[in-house]
Structure 1
Amino acid sequence: MLKGRSFPGKVMLTRRSEPISPPEYSPRSENDRYEYEQNGGSQEVEGQASGNTTDNISSKKPISPSTSSVNSLPDAQGLVSGARATDSARITKFTNELSRPAVILDKLRELSWSGVPPYMRPNIWRLLLGYAPPNADRREGVLTRKRLEYVECVSQYYDIPDTERSDEEITMLRQIAVDCPRTVPDVTFFQDPQIQKSLERILYTWAIRHPASGYVQGINDLVTPFLIVFLSEHLEGNLDTWSMENLSLQDVSNIEADCYWCLSKFLDGMQDHYTFAQPGIQRLVFRLKELVHRIDEPLSKHIEEQGLEFLQFAFRWFNCLLIREWSEKLQKLDFQEMVMFLQHLPTRNWAHHELEMVLSRAYMWHTMFKSSPSHLAN
Structure 2
Amino acid sequence: MEITAAVVRAPGADFTVEKVELDELRHNEVRVRLVATGICHTDSLVRDAIYPTPLPAVLGHEGAGIVEGIGDSVTSVAPGDHVVLAAAYCGHCRRCRAGQMAYCENLFAADFGGARLDGSTSISKDGEAISSHFFGQSSFATYANVVEESVVKIRSDVPLEHLGPLGCGLNTGAGTVLNELKPEIGSSLAVFGTGAVGNAAIMAAKVAECAIIVAVDIHQSRLDLALELGATHTINSITEDLPTRLKEIVGDAGLDYVVDTTARPELLRQAADALGVRGTVALVGAARPGTEVAFEIGASLVKGWTFKTVVQGSSVPQVFIPQLIQLWLDGRFPFEKLVKDYSLDQINEGFADSKSGVTVKPVIIF
Q: Same fold (TM over 0.5)?
A: no
Higher relative contact order (CA 8 A, sep 6+): 1
TM-score, normalised with respect to structure 1 = 0.25
Bigger Rg, structure 1 or 2: 1
